[in-house]
Amino acid sequence: MTDEVLSFIDGRAGRLRLNRPKAIHALNLPMVEAMTAQLQAWASDPAVDVVLVDHAEGRGFCAGGDVLMIRDSAMDDGAAGRAFFHDEYRLNTLMFTYAKPIVAFMDGITMGGGVGISQPARFRIATENTRFAMPESGIGLFPDVGGGWYLSRLPGRVGVYLALTGARIDGADCRALGLATHYIPSEALEQVKAQIAQTPDDLSAILGEASVAPPASRIMESRADIARIFAADRLEHIFAALEADGGPWASEQLGTLRTKSPLTCKVALRQLALSRGCATFADNMAMEYRIASRIIRQPDFPEGVRALLIDKDNAPRWSPATAEGVTDAQLDAIFAPLPPDEEWRPL
C-alpha cells in the first residue's frame, strides 16, 4: 500500500484517504493499484460494511490523473499511459459495481480522475468547497473515467456543455444535476464520517440529517441556453449557434471553445452520443479505453500538456486547428475496436 493512499478500518467503515496534497491528490498508477487491491480485500471482509473515500490535507479531493507521466509515455511508445488508463478504468468499474455502499466526499477540487472515483459511489457528498469539472478538452484529452456515461445522462445538453467547455461547477450545481446525492457543509463532514463508521446501518439517515438546502444552482439558470445552443452533435453547428446568438453568455462560451482542441471536442461529442446507448458501464469503459489508447498518440495531447503545465504559455497549437479540419475518418479510427488481445475488460 503506497503512502499516497491511506487505508484503514474505522469502526465498521473501510477508509480510503488520498494523500498526495502537493498534486491535489491527483492519481498515479500506484494509487490506483492500492485502491483496487484494498477494495477487493474489503469486498469479502465481514468487518467492513461501508467504504468512505476522502482526502487528507489540501484544497481538493482529487485534481485528476498523472498527465505528465502519460505525456512522457505518449512521446515514447504509449505503453505506460495505456497501462495507467487500463487499471484506472478497472478501478472505476470496480467502484461502480461494488456491492457494499461507497461514500465519496467531493470536498474541494473534483476533476478528471477525481470524477472517476467519486461518481461511481452510491453516495456522493458535495460541499460549499466543491469545484467539479471535466477539463480534458483543454489538454487534448476527452472526458474519460466514465465521463461519457455520467455526462450523457445529465438533463438536457448540460453534459455536452460540460464536456466541451470544461466549465467548473460548484456543489449546488452538482446537487441540482444529480452528480451529488447530498449537500453537506464541510464543517460537518468529520462528524458525519464518525457517525457512519459507528452505525453504518443508519447511513442514509445520517446523510439525510446532515444535509442542508444548497444555494441556488447557477447552471440551472443557463439550462435553456445550453439546450438551445449545444443541441447539435456536430461541433461546427455548435460554433454556428454560438456565433448566431451573439449575446454575452454565448460570446463567453464561444471564446472558451476556441481555446479547446477541435479534435478532442469532436471526440467528446461522438463519445457522449454513443455512451447514451451503452447497455452497461463496462461497455462504456471499453469504448473509452479504445479512445484513450489512441488519443494520447495524437499531437494535441502532448501539445496541450506542454501549453498548460510545462511551458505554461496557454497557447496550444492544435492539429487540426479548426473543427472543419477534423474528419469523420479520423474519428472512426479513434473509436475503432482494438485487436482482441488489446481490448479492455473489467476485473
Axis-axis angle for helices 248-257, 235-245 (nearest 10):
150
Per-residue pLDDT reduced to its tens digit, 108-130: 999 999 999 999 999 999 999 99
pLDDT for the residue numbered 57: 87
The widest CA-to-CA distance across the chain, in whole angstroms, is 60
pLDDT for the residue numbered 73: 95
Q: Which domain holds residue 270?
A: 5-342
Give a yes or no: residue 152 inside a domain: yes
pTM over 0.95: yes
Per-residue pLDDT reduced to its tens digit, 57-89: 888 999 999 999 999 999 999 999 999 999 999
Per-residue pLDDT reduced to its tens digit, 272-308: 999 999 999 999 999 999 999 999 999 999 999 999 9
pLDDT for the residue numbered 171: 98
Q: How many whole angstroms separate alpha carbon 259 and alpha carbon 263? A: 12
Mean pLDDT value of segment 3-16: 98
Give a yes or no: residue 240 inside a domain: yes
Identify the band that residue 210 occupies on the pLDDT scale cut at 50, 70 and 90: very high
Give a yes or no: residue 119 inside a domain: yes
Give a yes or no: residue 347 inside a domain: no
Query: Of how many residues is the chain composed?
Result: 347
- Number of domains the chain contains: 1
Q: How many whole angstroms separate alpha carbon 274 and alpha carbon 160? A: 12
pLDDT for the residue numbered 58: 82
Give a yes or no: residue 31 inside a domain: yes
Q: Return phi, psi of residue 22, to 5°.
A: -65, -25
Per-residue pLDDT reduced to its tens digit, 237-284: 999 999 999 999 999 999 999 999 999 999 999 999 999 999 999 999
C-beta contacts of 45-48 below 8 A and 24+ residues apart: 45/14, 47/9, 47/12, 48/9, 48/12, 48/13, 48/14, 48/100
Q: Average model confidence (pLDDT) for the chain? A: 97
Identify the band that residue 221 occupies on the pLDDT scale cut at 50, 70 and 90: very high
- Catalytic machinery residues: 65, 113, 136, 144
Asked if pLDDT for residue 163 goes beyond 90, the answer is yes
pLDDT for the residue numbered 290: 98
Identify the band that residue 137 occupies on the pLDDT scale cut at 50, 70 and 90: very high
Per-residue pLDDT reduced to its tens digit, 26-64: 999 999 999 999 999 999 999 999 999 999 988 899 999
The CATH number linked to 48 is: 3.90.226.10
Closest CA to 29 of 77, 86, 76: 86
Give a yes or no: residue 304 inside a domain: yes
Q: Are 300 and 263 in contact (CB under 8 A)?
A: yes
Cell 482494438 belongs to which residue?
A: 338
Identify the band that residue 1 occupies on the pLDDT scale cut at 50, 70 and 90: low
pLDDT for the residue numbered 59: 84
Identify the band that residue 2 occupies on the pLDDT scale cut at 50, 70 and 90: confident
pLDDT for the residue numbered 79: 96
